[in-house]
Amino acid sequence: MVHFQQIALSNGLFLGEILLASSRLNAQSLPMVLKIREQIEAWRHDPALVAVLVRGEGERAFCAGGDIRALYHAMSQPEFLHEGDDFFRHEYDLCRELHRYPKPVIAWGNGIVMGGGWGIFAASSHRIVTESSVLAMPEISIGLFPDVGASFWLQQLQGQIGRLLALTGSRLNAADALAFGAAEFALPSCSFTDLIITLQALPWSGAGERDAELASGALAALSAAWPCPLPESVWLPLADEVAAICAGDDLLAICGRIQNYQGDALALRQAAALQAAGSPTSIYLTWEMAQRAQALSYDEVVEMEWIGARNCLRHGDFHEGVRAKLIDRDDQPEWSPKALSLVKVADIESFFQSP
Q: Which amino acid is at 3?
A: H
Dist CA 61 CA 197 (whole Å)? 22
CA pseudo-torsion sign 109, 112, 115, 116: negative
The pLDDT of residue 229: 97
What is 2-350's CATH topology? 2-enoyl-CoA Hydratase; Chain A, domain 1 (3.90.226)
Closest CA to 289 of 114, 85, 123, 145: 145
The pLDDT of residue 316: 77
Closest CA to 124 of 151, 153, 145, 147: 153
Q: Which helix (H) or strand (E) holds 75?
A: helix 68-76
pTM reported for the whole predicted model? 0.96
Number of H helices, E strands in the chain: 16, 10
Q: How many residues does the chain have?
A: 355
- Residues of the chain under the 70 pLDDT cut: none
Dist CA 121 CA 135 (whole Å)? 10
Q: What string of H, E and C letters represents the secondary structure of 206-218?
A: CCHHHHHHHHHHH
Q: Which amino acid is at 301?
A: V
The pLDDT of residue 248: 97
- CA distance to 73, 116, 257, 302, 313, per residue, from 83 (Å): 10, 17, 39, 18, 10
Domain residue ranges of the chain, discontinuous segments joined by +: 2-350
Q: Which amino acid is at 101?
A: Y
CA dihedral 24, 28, 31, 32 (to 10 degrees): 100
Residue 301 contacts by C-beta under 8 Å, 6 or more apart in sequence?
149, 151, 152, 293
**How do beta strands 61-63 and 126-129 pair?**
unpaired
The pLDDT of residue 252: 98
Q: 206: alpha, beta or left, given left = phi > 0 and alpha = psi -120 to 50?
A: left
- Report pLDDT digits (tens) over 227-269: 999 999 999 999 999 999 999 999 999 999 999 999 999 999 9
CA pseudo-torsion sign 132, 135, 136, 137: positive
